[in-house]
Amino acid sequence: MSSQSQSGLLHKYKGILFSSMSSEGLLDSLDSFDAREDDIFLVSYPKSGTHWVAEVIENIPNVGITLTSPIEWGDVSKFEELKMVPKRRVIPTHLSYEMIPRTVKQKQCKIVYVIRNPKDTAVSLFHYYRDNPNLPSPETWAAFLELFLKGDVVYGSWFDHVLSWEKHKNDKNVLFLFYEEMKKDFVKSLNKITDFLGFDVNDSDISKIARNTSFSEMKSNAVKENCDPNHTICALTSDRNLVFRKGVVGDWINYFTPKQRSAFDELFMEKMEHSDVGRCLKEYTNSDGK
């Protein structure tokens, strides 16, 4: 797996690993993307709950939006394709703040950033690497965790990604959502999303959205809608069956050895020492979240 970028599945761009699904030409041209003021960007590090939030937003009635495929999926023709979308666009991405197109920042487009306990994220990404033919398969969990801690995985270091966005956590056009909080109090999180996006929902809408976006419902829908290229939310695959695995909080406890846990905690302390997000996540990284 040390030759993961040589496998042709991944390539390095500005020191960060990307899937070959994101062409270098497209990554080079991100700043030529023409954002619209009403664009909504749905951002996260991979395996942090983006699909869930996308489904939630898609299930809000009468809002006239189109969920596009990720901005970094494909080649330069992507921007022409996005230009053709007539409705208000909801655009998913796993890009760090630095790589987000300039016009998105200039026009202060609404940005929803989804964040999840990095231990659960690491486990989820490990399974994704194993199951996704677009990613090199790791030999063992231990080998993968080492790469994850070094940031030698797709989209680079979880810590760098989160910290790049945390600097903008209080910008009025940015909403930070914690995956674990959504699991704990869905209605509260849904109200946060709809208030932020300026959408009206009533109680019956809320219970319908909760029903339609339960994990089991999304998983069975994924089977029905599989490989619909218009329903690609992840920049790493269009196979929706790969996307929904367990969706639980605290599964990391079944994977981390005590030694791995202390190595992870040490790095977390070092990197997130001055981070509010780190403080919020601490209860989930130190327990199984139950």
Query: Per-residue confidence at 6, pLDDT binned at 50, 70, 90?
Result: very low
- Of 51, 94, 161, 231, which is the active-site residue? 94
CATH of the domain spanning 22-118+156-249: 3.40.50.300
Calpha distance 290→287 (Å, rounded): 8
Q: Where are the domains of the chain?
A: 22-118+156-249
Question: Whose structure tokens read 């339960």?
Answer: 214
Q: What is the pLDDT of residue 225?
A: 55
Q: Are strands 16-19 and 10-13 parallel, antiparallel or unpaired?
A: antiparallel
DSSP 8-state symbol, 173: T
Residue 239 has pLDDT above 60, yes or no: no
Determine the Cα–Cα distance for residues 189 and 215; give it in Å rounded to an integer. 16
pLDDT (tens digit per residue) in 39-81? 999 999 999 988 889 989 999 999 999 999 999 999 999 999 9
pLDDT of residue 1: 43
- CA end-to-end span of the chain, whole Å? 34
Q: What is the mean pLDDT of the chain?
A: 88
Does 103 score more than 80 pLDDT? Answer: yes
Tell me, yes or no, if 231 is annotated catalytic. Answer: no
CA 171 – CA 113 distance, rounded (Å):
12
Q: pLDDT tens, 106-119?
A: 999 999 999 999 99
